[in-house]
Amino acid sequence: MTTQTIKNTGCPTASIILKRELIRFTIQPARIGASIGTPLILWVFMASGFSGSMSMFAPVVADTASATSYSLYLLPGMMTLVAMFTAIFSSISIIEDRTEGWLQSVLVAPSPRWSIAAGKILGGSILAFAQAIILLLALPMLGGHLTPVALLQITLALAVTCIAMTGVGVAFAWVSESTQGFHAVMNLILMPLWMLSGAFFSTQSATGWLRILMYANPLTWATWAIRSPLNNNQITKSATPSTLTDFLNQPPWYFSISIAILFAITTFTIATIIVAKPRKS
């Protein structure tokens, strides 16, 4: 087989893996319940139990006069949580495929390894996006509203977030030897990453050292890129930030989405490099 032929097999390999991920998802309905059900339960409990004490720390503006409900503030965080759970479930299939021998047959095929990472990440991202975007149906019940531009902004931000989270999952799953080890690493890394993303409390309400961690967390900016358009960016339009802290607490959408895109590109690249590197026996 010539070099040109090998190069041309990359995209077909990626598409085959992508289709396999989608088909596998349709025959595993429990994944749908686990990916959406857990965030929904957490959403209901947190919105009901903490709305009174936390709403003052959730500076999301519904209009020029009043603050939105805490439930609406939680919505972007729940969407990123769905993306995270779906990324975990999709990435676990790498370990299962390795155990069953299917992954070995793909590795020995005359196709570039980047196509394996691309297929896994794109397949997992599509599944994550399809499940997370469903939560927007709750907006009318929460008093939220969307303009066409805001919907496009949320769609882009959510898609970027799904790619980033799936890239993280694929990178760790590729180097994990067992599902138990993979879950341990994910709980140690992804859960703190989500909890420090401003999902259920804002950077303004965090203490000094915790606020710094939230600023350094790329998922914070991805969450903000989803949250800001929910009210037509009225937060960033209401006042001009006078200090760096004000800017970081209420950044414009273009700033947040830029960091989120950089986060997705970085995780995609790292996952591709890890997959392309031969594993040690």
Give per-residue pLDDT as tens, 130-166: 888 888 888 887 777 788 999 999 999 999 999 999 9
Q: Is residue 4 part of a domain?
A: no
Q: State the pTM of this model.
A: 0.81
Q: Is residue 52 part of a domain?
A: no
Q: Is 170's pLDDT higher than 70?
A: yes
pLDDT at residue number 49:
57
Euclidean distance between CA atoms 243 and 31, whole angstroms: 45
Domain of 90 in residue numbering reads as 9-44+58-276
Better pLDDT: 121 or 39: 121
Distances (CA, A) of 141 to 82, 205, 228: 20, 26, 18
As a whole number, mean pLDDT of residues 251-260 equals: 93
Euclidean distance between CA atoms 211 and 229, whole angstroms: 23
Residues 6+ positions from 235 with CB-CB distance below 8 Å: 59, 60, 61, 228, 250
Euclidean distance between CA atoms 10 and 167, whole angstroms: 18
Q: Is residue 2 part of a domain?
A: no
Distances (CA, A) of 13 to 131, 135, 160: 25, 32, 23
Q: Is residue 208 part of a domain?
A: yes
Q: Is residue 102 part of a domain?
A: yes
Q: Is residue 51 part of a domain?
A: no
Euclidean distance between CA atoms 273 and 253, whole angstroms: 30
Query: How many angstroms from the chain centroid is the CA of residue 32?
Result: 16
Q: Provide the number of structural domains found in the chain.
A: 1
Question: Could you read off the pLDDT of 11-42 as tens digits, one per residue?
Answer: 677 787 877 777 777 776 666 666 667 677 77
